[in-house]
Chains A and B, each alone.
Chain A
Amino acid sequence: MSRNKIIPGVDSRLLIKDAGRLMPDPMRRNFLRGAASLGALTMLTGCDIIDGPTAENVLRKISEFNDGVQAAIFQQNKLAPTYKEGDITRPFPFNAYYSEDEAPVVDPNTWKLEISGLVENKKPWTLDELHALPEVSQITRLVCVEGWSVIGSWQGAVLSDFLKRIGADTRAKYVWFKCAEGYTNTIDMPTALHPQTQMTFKFDNKLLPRAYGFPMRIRMPTKLGFKQPKYVVAMEVTNTDKGGYWEDQGYNWFSGL
């Protein structure tokens, strides 16, 4: 399948996009604008009523409207379909905005999960402590924003149980994650409390390998792949939307499935 061309690395367009990220901020904005106005030009050749920035602004507003629509149709107790052992995609792809040999190497002996924000107990958690939490398992589909999908098997602790355990204010709007490679992501509280949202420590019943986010990833079968943090180092319960790595570049914020 032609999908193989895509999974090992990153879509070439995303790669260019990523190069754009390395640019200083004002330049980056122009870069984004360039992409949007290219679209506007394709659509409205010879027409300058809708220029790039205006079109981009309108599109962003509609994307925010779509966040609201998605939050409204999100059913907190509707479970994502689960699959059988034999349905698991093997080999399961590595996928990130960097190559596999650039993936973070985390020392499990010094790693701690930092907790902050609207939480009663902010004590950092060691990996051993987290591994001692009650384990659940899921075989679910991971859907990439690019369109392809894979089925994987993940084991770990239910995030909503953990949030209750640390005394998190679950009336807060968001949970924010920070990761070892610099990736960040903000998710809505209803998704954080979804019964299948998991703090994942194992893939296919084996300790999470480096490629899949060791020592901990967040698995949400109700969100697109790009919203799922790997190599998590910190978690914050907050009422402030701190955005996220991909969302800040123009991907839809909610990106629910």
Chain B
Amino acid sequence: MTDGATTAEAMGERRPARTIHPAWVRICHWINAIAILMMIGSGWQIYNASPLFDFVFPSEISLGGWLAGALLWHFAAMWLLVVNGIVYVALGIVTGRFRRKLLPITPRDLAADTKAALTFKLLHDDLSHYNAIQKLLYVGIILTGIVIVLSGVSIWKPVQVQELTAFFGGYDTARYVHFCAMATIVAFLVIHVTLALIVPRSLRAIVVGK
């Protein structure tokens, strides 16, 4: 048994490992991870009922079992995705985290970091600092998130929000926009998860914060 003072001291000594991701970021991240997987899985099943392209998604990796089941999942998980997304974006703006972490993105930094990445010289020694490529990807995925929600709403309610549907090029075109946004998110996910596995410290940071 250690006494209280010693424990506090011990903790104090470890404090230099500063928080990379505050609790709200980690909570929002993992809720979003669950929500987006449910949305993608059920979305694939919905897509299969009337494919836009010459392929369907294997039912083993889709969610809901059949169209009605998938629609139930999709229109349930959407609340989780949207409410969590609004909280995340609001806190990101209010706390100044977005401005501090994601801006500015300059073409010069981007060129330099791209070159470094392609020659495997891009370092990840400081996880609290994002390089220009990370900034671009994170800003891009937030914007894609907004597009997928708005295009989704526009095909869900093409009469009530017909102005929004028209903005996306009409009902049929909005379906393609929604699909492309999904494809963008899946591509991001592949890169995001791969890089997290290459740099396991980043995975720890998004779980325990440090």
- Chain A interfacial positions (CB closer than 8 Å to B): 2-3, 6, 11, 13-14, 16-17, 34-39, 42-43, 56, 58-60, 62-63, 66, 73-75, 78, 80-81, 141, 143-149, 221-222, 246, 249-252, 256-257
Contacts and interface: CB of A to CB of B under 8 A. Distances in A.
Given A257-B157, A257-B158, A34 B75 contact: no
Contacts of B159: 78, 80-81, 221-222, 256-257
B61 interface: yes
Contacts of A13: 48-49, 66-67
Contacts of A149: 171-172
Contacts of B181: none
B95 to A, nearest CB: 30
Candidate in A11, A14, A42 with the most chain B CB atoms within 10 angstroms:
A42
Contacts of A147: 46-47, 49-50, 155, 175
23 contacts: A2-B51, A39-B63, A39-B64, A42-B41, A42-B61, A42-B62, A43-B37, A43-B63, A59-B73, A62-B72, A62-B76, A75-B160, A81-B159, A143-B158, A146-B50, A147-B47, A147-B175, A149-B172, A222-B159, A249-B68, A250-B69, A256-B157, A257-B158
Interface string B21-60: 0000000000000000110011000111111111000001
B162 A2 contact: no
B50 A3 contact: yes
B71 A39 contact: no
B54 A250 contact: no
Given A60-B72, A146-B49, A147-B175, A35 B66 contact: yes
Given A13-B67, A42-B60, A63 B72 contact: yes
A66 B51 contact: no
Contacts of A221: 159
B208 to A, nearest CB: 22
Contact of B75 (A35, A39, A252): A252
A250 B65 CA distance: 12
B167 interface: no
A17 B67 CA distance: 10
Contacts of B53: 2
Contacts of B62: 42
B162 A81 contact: yes
A236 B153 CA distance: 33
Nearest to B79: A62
B164 interface: no
Contacts of B71: 145, 251-252
A43 B41 contact: yes
B148 interface: no
Nearest to A58: B76
Contacts of A146: 49-50, 67
Given A14-B66, A251-B68, 16 more contacts: A6-B49, A11-B49, A36-B65, A38-B69, A39-B42, A39-B65, A42-B41, A58-B76, A59-B72, A63-B75, A80-B159, A81-B162, A141-B171, A147-B50, A250-B69, A257-B158
Contact of B65 (A35, A141, A257): A35
Contacts of A58: 76
Candidate in A13, A17, A36, A149 with the most chain B CB atoms within 10 angstroms:
A13
B76 to A, nearest CB: 4
Contacts of A74: 160
B81 interface: no
Contacts of B79: 62
A250 B64 CA distance: 11
A35 B171 contact: no
B70 interface: yes
A171 B62 CA distance: 43
Contacts of A81: 158-159, 162, 166
B68 A250 contact: yes
A146 B48 CA distance: 8
Nearest to B161: A73
Contacts of B65: 34-39
A110 B101 CA distance: 74
Nearest to A220: B159
